[in-house]
Amino acid sequence: MDLDRCEDRNAATPLYVTTFFIPSTKSSKIKGETTQWAAQRGPCDPRAAMLNHLQINEPARDAHLFTYRNPKTRKLVPLTRAAFLTRVNTALAAGSHSPIKGHCLRIGGVLEWLLRGLSFEVVKVMGRWASDAFIVYLRKRSAVLAPYIQASPVFVPFTQMIAMPTRIR
């Protein structure tokens, strides 16, 4: 796995992003896609999680990205969707939460970023969505739309800057 660290040179404080290539995805089975992460504070830091994964499982350089050691056989096996969801749902059950289906994680991620104030277009790029289909799945629509529909919307200066001028008759 090749990890590449990039820096936003325009930021006052450097903003670092790690990129990596996924050789096959649901929507790009042959060409694959490059994706990225940025360090986060707390237990959900993707960098810390990746380093932990690599240390515990020691996958070969040419192995699947999320190869792990099967607890019964101790052999390295690629992480499947079914195995991943089983693990997630086991953790949810331990916390007295309902089980989920795989798409919930993707849609939940979209919702989280929108609730943090990111624009629909940025979220679309982050999620590698080819269309606006993710909008159909949105939950908590009123919370997502709240800043956009106020009498004094937060985004008025931005909207005025990008809006087409009105014609004067």
Average pLDDT over residues 61-82: 87
Whether 2 maps to a domain, the answer reads yes
Q: What was the pLDDT predicted at 126?
A: 82
Whether 89 maps to a domain, the answer reads no
Q: What was the pLDDT predicted at 153?
A: 57
Query: 115-124, long-range: CB within 8 Å, 24+ apart, which pairs?
Result: 115/140, 115/143, 115/144, 117/147
Does residue 107 register a pLDDT over 60?
yes
Whether 25 maps to a domain, the answer reads yes
Domain that holds residue 42: 1-57
Whether 23 maps to a domain, the answer reads yes
Q: What was the pLDDT predicted at 1?
A: 58
Whether 165 maps to a domain, the answer reads no
Q: How many domains does the chain have?
A: 1
Q: Which residue has the higher pLDDT, 14 or 91?
A: 91
Whether 6 maps to a domain, the answer reads yes
Does residue 138 register a pLDDT over 80?
no
Distances (CA, A) of 6 to 38, 46, 139: 10, 15, 33
pLDDT band per the 50, 70, 90 thresholds, residue 154: low
The pTM of this model reads 0.64
Helices 81-94 and 102-115: crossing angle in degrees, nearest 10, is 70
Average pLDDT over residues 112-116: 82
Does residue 119 register a pLDDT over 80?
yes
In percent, how much of the chain has pLDDT > 90? 13
